[in-house]
Amino acid sequence: MAPRYYTVSWDQLHRDSKALAWRLVERGPWKGIVAITRGGLIPAAIVARELDCRLIESVSVITYDEEKLGTPVVAKPPVAADDGEGWLVLDDLVDTGTTAKVVRGILPKAHFATVYAKPAGKPLVDSFITEVSQDTWILFPWDTEPQFVAPIARSGMVK
């Protein structure tokens, strides 16, 4: 089956990240937030603002090369977060759970939250806002740019 594409706008990402903050506020206070780079950086900034959290750490786990899944490599560990106790880990999406498993291994006591979750990765996160099908490829605002699209009548799809 061909993958489906779902485009998320900046506005929608902001609304969904703020909704995640509403879900997380009563679970705090948090010692800090660990953003999973790169996708978790912007949701982490939005959630940090909403939770009035000033300490932001990052962990860099490289798993994708464009749309191809590879072997995960920790390029930058979250040194300040120790074992994760009292810390909130944020990512944009949990897909297959590959990155989540690596980060859970590093920060076993952290609360793991994502904005979006796919069925294969959903059991690995503690909180999320929106579930999407496993065959959906989410196009985040930093992955896309507005461009001209021909009218449907000129697309060759109309007979």
Name the pairing type of β-strands 56-65 and 68-76. Answer: antiparallel
Contact 89, 100 (CB under 8 A): no
Q: How far apart are CA 50 and CA 21, in angstroms?
A: 6
Catalytic residue among 16, 52, 91, 143: 91
Q: How would DSSP label each residue in 9-49?
A: -HHHHHHHHHHHHHHHGGG---SEEEEEETTTHHHHHHHHH
Helices 10-24 + 41-51 axis angle, to 10 = 50
The answer to whether residue 91 is catalytic is yes
Catalytic residue among 95, 126, 135, 143: 95
The answer to whether residue 92 is catalytic is yes
Catalytic residue among 11, 52, 65, 92: 92
Q: In what order do the strands lie in the sheet with 68-76?
A: 68-76, 56-65, 32-37, 87-94, 111-117, 127-131
> Which residues are part of the catalytic machinery?
91-92, 95
